[in-house]
Amino acid sequence: MAEGYLTTHILDTARGCPAQGVRIVLYRLADGVRDQIAERVTNADGRTDSPILTRDSFATGTYELVFHAGDYLRKTGQAADDPLFLDEVPIRFGMSDVEAHYHVPLLLSPYGYSTYRGS
């Protein structure tokens, strides 16, 4: 059984706080197909209550996290005119180690974002 798992969190860098209530969808990409395999919403700490991909369902491969940032930016009064500059933020990445903890955070503002492989 694989020991790896995937977590994420979102920090609102414009407001200096965790981003609560953001919907996150995880897709697995293989053979030209994009399959949705998980969906979570961030809690008051900007994290999901459980790993977005657990040890039981972990597999190596290419994945995409889609952060539904636009809804959050609208709700917090940070949205400008439609269409928003950032609405859905996709991050595509690979996981190759079946025993690793992959952590893919999002640092978000209305006009920019960054990510990295965290711990």
Reading the block at residue 7, the tokens are 């977590």
Q: What pLDDT does residue 108 have?
A: 98
Does the structure show a pLDDT above 90 at 115? yes
Q: What is the per-residue pLDDT for 89?
A: 98
The tokens for 10 are: 């979102």
Task: Show me where the domains of the chain are located.
Answer: 5-115
pLDDT tens, residue by residue, 91-110:
999 999 999 999 999 999 99
pLDDT in tens, 25-80: 999 999 999 999 999 999 999 999 999 999 999 999 999 999 999 999 999 999 87
Q: What is the pLDDT of residue 2?
A: 60
CATH fold of 5-115 reads Immunoglobulin-like (2.60.40)
Sole residue written with tokens 């897709």 = 27
Pairing of strands 10-12, 106-109: parallel
pLDDT at 1 over 80: no
Check residue 11 and give its pLDDT: 98
- Rounded Cα distance, 5 and 19, in Å: 22
Q: What is the pLDDT of residue 39?
A: 97
> What pLDDT, on the 0 to 100 scale, is given for residue 82?
86
In the chain, DSSP finds a helix count (H) and a strand count (E) of: 1, 10
Please state, for a pLDDT cut of 90, what percent of the chain lies above it.
92
The larger pLDDT score, comparing residue 117 to residue 79, is at 117
What is the rounded CA–CA span in Å between residue 28 and residue 36? 6
